[in-house]
Structure 1
Amino acid sequence: MTVILGPPNPASTANGHANVERDPLLEASYSSITTEELDFVRQQTGIQDEAALREHILNVQAEAFKVHPYPCIRRFAFIKMKLSPRIPAYNHLLKLGREREGAILLDIGCCFGNDVRKAVADSFPVQNVVATDIHPEFWDYGHKLFNSTQETFPARFLAGDVFDPAHLALVPPFTSSPAKSQPQLSTLTSLNPLRGHVSAIHISAVFHLFSEEEQVELAHKLAGLLSPEPGSIIFGLQSGRADKGFRVEAGVPNSHGKQMFCHSPESWTELWENVFPTGTIRVDADVRELNRDDLKPVGEGAKFWVLTWCVTRL
């Protein structure tokens, strides 16, 4: 049963959220936020009072949902930590940040930037972080949610569509160091100067938004960004299936209103092995069923699988 802590207060003026109109249905998943996740927001914002923290989070959610009514905004995915020690590649990411000089972390589809904030809190150098999303408003809402500014959290944000060549043009994976030196992140206006220079690319809850053909194209584009240095990684998580195919179990379309295409660990491994030259990568992929209370209205038989994966340069 969903638990709502205290009555909503649309007229709250705390933290700059004056007279925010909220849909009670948006609040229904608030109880799914874990104590660990709330503690992280509390640590980042400095808001210690539980009721005030709840109002702050719900008001930001309501504002962001007006930008684009993504299901992930409804489910508070902008707080849930996809980039965390629960992902096997996470400790390797932090190791890259500690040991590889100038190691760049790129977050694709960053939304509010909660994942890169977690990595920075756990020691990845903020000056080496780049984040991108098609909706720049979400990055602004990240500053609002976490009570930060560009000065206090100086990660580089770039708005753009990764399918747009002006933002990210497709090139083959690099097999040796790029001829051009690593760019100054503060000068970036697109992802193109980063091609061949990125040590770690995190991309979660993005691939399943697109068709099978578009997922292949996206994989090729990301491969061109990755540094050829051994240990460089592309990793994340997304909707998956035990068997490759459309997500028919839940009967829920993706955010583009289309039937969601999901990979299995085997088909996902095959995809990446066809993207990179033979013998240059290792693919680790695992799928597990995840309990999703929000799918119960769809039907008791509705199922959801998460594909967790990492592509590592050898």
Structure 2
Amino acid sequence: MSVPPQPATASDGTTIPAWYASQRSVPLDPSLYAPAPDELAFYKGQTRITDEDELKAHVLKVQRDAYEVWPYPCIRRLAFTKLKISRFPVYEEVLKLGRERQGAILLDLGCCFGNDARKAVADGFPASQILASDLRSDFWALGHTLFKSTPETCPVRFVQGDIFSDAFFNPHLAHPHSMEAISACVDSASLSPLAKCASIIHASAFFHLFNEPAQLALARRLNVLLSNEPGSLIFGSHRGVRDGVPGERDGRESFAHSPTTWRAMWEDATRGDASVQVEAWLSDFETRPMSAEDVKSVSVDENGVPLHPGSWLVWVVRRA
């Protein structure tokens, strides 16, 4: 008789749920390291490691260390080697906001190593206007290892905390808009000073970590963080399902939305605010740039469930 998976303890003393803990015993697969030419060029430039074998060994070492912190599937798949943020259709819009809107702030939520934030900086978004945040500061520290940087040499600022905790972000507190909101967040070790100040919020491979009620609560909190200025946006991607397919996910106590249920959730989260526009579609974001046309080519099994490497729900929430 097989023994059901058991919870484990993470390095920070928190409990790793049984499904995630069971993944630790599965050997990592180095063949999944397959950066595209532009991704390889980015990592060579950021790490200053030009030898490709040396770079691969360096990346895989960081992957192993990160997998011990918390065995997320995205770390197993080396998703951090993909230039994910730049594959989104709204990416040029993001860079334009950074260029043209005075003091535009980009919040990279669930930032892990900070690879997406660093990519935005490399493409011209002002580093002083980016704030990265994650539940686990160990991942941010490993980002410094990965990119051979230090807190002093990395221009992107970081704040650690739990977005669901009122001690870290209290959506009920009113904060005056400030051009120094990022500094205030760092100084207070919270996101509360960022309320209504974030022009852009990026949150990928994040919502699908939670169950359906928690995702609604998260959407409500992000809506409070987002600036009311027209053109402000929240975007990202996570595991998705076709309309009509149940959204429960393989024992992880998490939920996969379809485009229709995702739009309905945001209508609830914003209380039907007509100024909020939501776009959502299914796509395989890791193999090609994403577009709404991708929904027509999603591969599913006999039950209509997207196949591995799977279909991802790609979405944009925008203030009109």
Report the TM range for the smaller structure's normalisation: 0.7 to 0.9
The offset of 1:282, in angstroms, is 1.1
Distance 1:93 1:45 in 2: 25
- Measure, in 1, the Cα distance between the counterparts of 2:149 and 2:51: 18
Residue 44 of structure 2 is aligned with which of 33, 42, 45? 42
Partner of 2:178: 181
SS for the counterpart of 1:83 is helix
Listed as ranges, the matches of 1:284-303 within 5 Å are 284-288=279-283, 302-303=307-308
Cα–Cα, structure 1 residues 155 and 289, in superposed 2: closer, same or farther, change >3 Å?
closer
The answer to whether the Cα contact below 8 Å between 1:133 and 1:160 also exists between their aligned partners in 2 is yes
**Inter-partner Cα distance in structure 1 for 2:307 and 2:318:** 33
Secondary structure at the aligned position of 1:53 is classed as helix
The Cα shift of 1:302 comes to: 3.8
1:310 aligned onto 2:316: yes
Q: How has the CA–CA distance of structure 1 residues 221 and 133 changed in structure 2, closer, same or farther, with 3 Å as cutoff?
A: same
Structure 2 counterparts to residues 253-292 of structure 1, below 5 A = 253=251, 257-258=252-253, 260-276=254-270, 277-288=272-283
Deviations 1:166-212 (A, max 9, x none): 1112349x9xxx64434342332200010010000000001111111
- CA change 1:151–1:28 in 2 (3 A) is same
How do 1:19-30 residues align onto structure 2 when only pairs under 5 Å count? Answer: 25-30=27-32
Aligned to 1:98: 99
* Secondary structure of the corresponding residue to residue 56 of structure 1: helix
Structure-1 residue corresponding to 2:59: 57
TM-score normalised to structure 1 length: 0.81
Contact 1:94/1:124 (8 A) holds in 2: yes
Indicate the SS of the match to 1:88: coil
Alignment gaps of 5+ in structure 1:
1-22, 293-299
> What CA deviation, in whole Å up to 9, does each residue of 1:87-134 have, x standing for no partner?
111111101000001100001100000001111100000011101101
| In 1: Cα distance, 2:286 partner to 2:91 partner | 23
Map 1:83-94 to 2 at 5 A.
83-84=85-86, 86-94=87-95
Whether 2:48 is the aligned partner of 1:71: answer: no
Q: CA deviation at 1:266?
A: 1.5
SS of equivalent to 1:117:
helix
Residue 148 of structure 1 deviates from its aligned partner by 1.3
Match of 2:151 in 1: 150
Deviation, 1:246, is 4.0
CA contact (8 A) 1:130 1:157 kept: yes
Q: Secondary structure at the match of 2:149?
A: coil
1:110 to 2:111 alignment? yes
Is the 1:60–1:141 contact (alpha carbons within 8 Å) kept by the matching residues of 2? yes
After TM superposition, list the pairs within 5 Å mapping 1:82-231 onto structure 2: 82-84=84-86, 86-171=87-172, 179-188=176-185, 189-231=189-231
1:29/1:75 contact within 8 Å kept = no
Q: Which moved more, 1:140-149 or 1:31-40?
A: 31-40
Task: Name the TM-score, length of structure 2 as normaliser.
Answer: 0.79
Contact 1:29 1:76 in 2 (8 A): no
Provide the secondary structure at the position in 2 that maps to 1:26.
coil
Checking the alignment, whether the CA contact within 8 Å between 1:226 and 1:233 is kept in structure 2 is yes
Counterpart-to-counterpart distance in 2, 1:132 and 1:50: 30
| Residue correspondence of structure 1 range 2-17 to structure 2 within 5 A | none
Measure, in 2, the Cα distance between the counterparts of 1:94 and 1:310.
Answer: 15
Change (3 A) 1:64 1:179: closer
Identity %, equivalent residues: 45
Q: Specify whether residues 59 and 289 from structure 1 end up closer, same or farther in structure 2 by C-alpha distance, changes over 3 A only.
A: closer
Rounded to whole Å, the distance in 2 between the matches of 1:54 and 1:217 is 39
Contact 1:240 1:305 in 2 (8 A): yes
Provide the C-alpha distance between the structure 2 equivalents of 1:184 and 1:209, rounded to a whole number of angstroms. 28
Q: Give SS of 1:78's match.
A: helix
Q: Is the alpha carbon distance of 1:180 and 1:125 closer, same or farther for their aligned partners in structure 2, counting shifts above 3 Å?
A: closer
Deviation at 1:149, TM superposition (A): 1.7
Equivalent residue pairs, number: 277
Answer whether contact 1:106 1:131 (CA < 8 A) is retained.
Answer: yes
- Aligned residue for 1:221, secondary structure, equals helix
Q: Secondary structure at the match of 1:137?
A: helix
Letter in 2 for 1:313: R
Give the whole-Å Cα distance in 2 for the aligned partners of 1:48 and 1:179: 46
Aligned to 1:296: none
Q: Distance in 1 between matches of 2:34 and 2:161?
A: 31
